[in-house]
Every structure is written in structure tokens, then in C-alpha cells.
Structure 1
Amino acid sequence: MAQINVTPLVDVMLVLLIIFMISAPVITHKTKLDLPQRSSKIMETPPSVHLAIQADGTMYWNGTPVSSDQLRTQLSIAAMQSTQPALEIDAADGAAYDAVAKVMAEAKAQGLARIDMLGVQ
């Protein structure tokens, strides 16, 4: 009389049951996400100021040439406005890193909250 030995089958089934019991809480882990809600309110874009820094170090505030002192004054005026404009810095390819870093540091020191760097388009 031939009989099937079910002991190895039961052992494998118990091991699989234990593996599934351990891995089930990991699979069902929930993460809470705060997704943005849809709004009918129209977002207003803040005004922006364009500052171009040329390769030779000259700076243009909205197309008007400015010196370092005039730039400091313009930055302080922009920082005092009720709705601060975004400062868009457009540095030329050959502009010195030091000149751009000084402008960014001065803008931050004057209290401008938003400084954008424009790239090649």
C-alpha cells in the first residue's frame, strides 16, 4: 500500500504562512498625504524685477544701467514694498561668479524673499 508523506508539505505551508503573517503589516502600511485642494481663487503672480549682469560686470535693473550703490538702493526699495517683487537674476555666460554672489548676498541682506536665477532659454 503506497501512502503520500504529507509532513514536508505541512512544513512548507507553515513556513509560507509565517512569512505572509510577517510581511502583511509592511504591505498594508498607510501613509497620510496632504494633497493640495482645488481652488477657484485665481493666483496672482507677484511682480518681478529683471537684473541682468553682463560679462564685464555691468548691471541692468529692468534695462536701465545701475552701479553697485544704485543697486543697493533699488534692492532696499524693492524689499520695503508691501508685495515684494521677485528678483530675476540673468547672468551672462562670462559673468564672474563673485559678482553674481555679491548681488545675491546683497539682495538677501536687504530682505528680499524671492530670488530667481534665469537660465539659457
Structure 2
Amino acid sequence: MAFASAASHRNAIADINVTPLVDVMLVLLIIFMVTAPLLDQRLPLALPQSTERARTEPRIVELAAEPGDVFALDGRTLAPGALQAELVRLREAEPGLALRVAIAPDADYQTAATALAAADRAGISNLKLE
């Protein structure tokens, strides 16, 4: 008898029962069909309008520092002593001024320090180093 039951298990069908899988898929299909129209509905909202002006990008002034304490502000060559005064004048004219400092690769550290110190003493806090 024991041998007969082992033999019957060898002949058993080894397929997966797909009926529960089909049931789950049909339930998911029905759920998606019911909820799909709900996704397209929109709720009308009356949003308040902003009273603040749109922010504008700050004007970017380029300061080039060349070897030998040679400075150029937007293409105009300046002496090291006049650099800070010119930066103060520009900052007072435009408080949101942005300064892009381009230091030449062959410039010494003193030239770079002079340019950055002049910007700091002028009160310019928006800097970009290149």
C-alpha cells in the first residue's frame, strides 16, 4: 500500500493553479476601472494673487584681477586704490549687485586678496569666484 500511494504522487499534475491569480487580477481590474474616472476630476479653487513683485536677477558686474595689481571692472581698468570706491558706488546704486571675480591663473595671492578685500569692505556679499 505504501508503494501505491508513492506511485500516485509521481503521476500528480505539477501545474500551478491559476484560478486564484485570475481572481486577484479581475478584482484589481475592477478597482482600477472604478477609480480611473476619479483621477480626472478637478476641484475648482480660487487662489489668491501675489502682491509681491517678481524678483529680478541681480546685475552681475565682473571684476578681473590680473598680475601686477591690475584690476578691470566691467572692462574699465582701475587702480587698486580706486577699486573699493568704485565698488561702494556700484553697491549704493544697486543694492542687489552680484560681483563675479575672475582672478587670472598667473596672478599672485596678494592681487586676489586685494580684490576680495575691496569687495568685502564695499559691503558686497554676493560673490562668485572664477
TM-score, length-normalised on structure 1? Answer: 0.57
Q: Which residue of structure 1 lines up, in the alignment, with residue 119 of structure 2?
A: 107
Distance (whole Å) between structure 2 residues aligned to residue 113 and residue 58 of structure 1: 22
Query: What's 2:98 paired with?
Result: 86
Using the alignment, how far apart are the partners of 1:110 and 1:86 within structure 2? 12
Identity of aligned residues (%): 21
Match of 1:48 in 2: 60
- The residue aligned with 2:24 is none
Indicate yes or no: 2:90 matched with 1:72: no
TM-score relative to the length of structure 2? 0.54
Structure 1 outlier segments of 4+, above 4 Å: none
Correspondence for 2:27: none
8 Å contact kept, 2:97–2:126: yes
Structure 2: give runs of 5+ residues left out of the alignment. 1-52
Q: Does the CA-based 8 Å contact 1:89-1:116 persist in structure 2? A: yes
| Structure with greater helix percent | 2
Cα distance, 1:82 vs structure 2: 4.2
**Alpha-carbon distance in 2 for matches of 1:50, 1:92:** 13
Q: Aligned pair in 2 of structure 1 residues 84, 78: CA closer, same or farther (>3 Å)?
A: farther
Cα gap change, 1:60/1:82 in structure 2, threshold over 3 Å: closer, same or farther?
closer
Q: What is the CA–CA distance in structure 1 between the aligned matches of 2:74 and 2:122, rounded to whole Å? A: 18
**One-letter identity of the residue aligned with 2:61:** V
Bigger radius of gyration, 1 or 2?
A: 2
Q: SS at the partner of 1:83?
A: coil
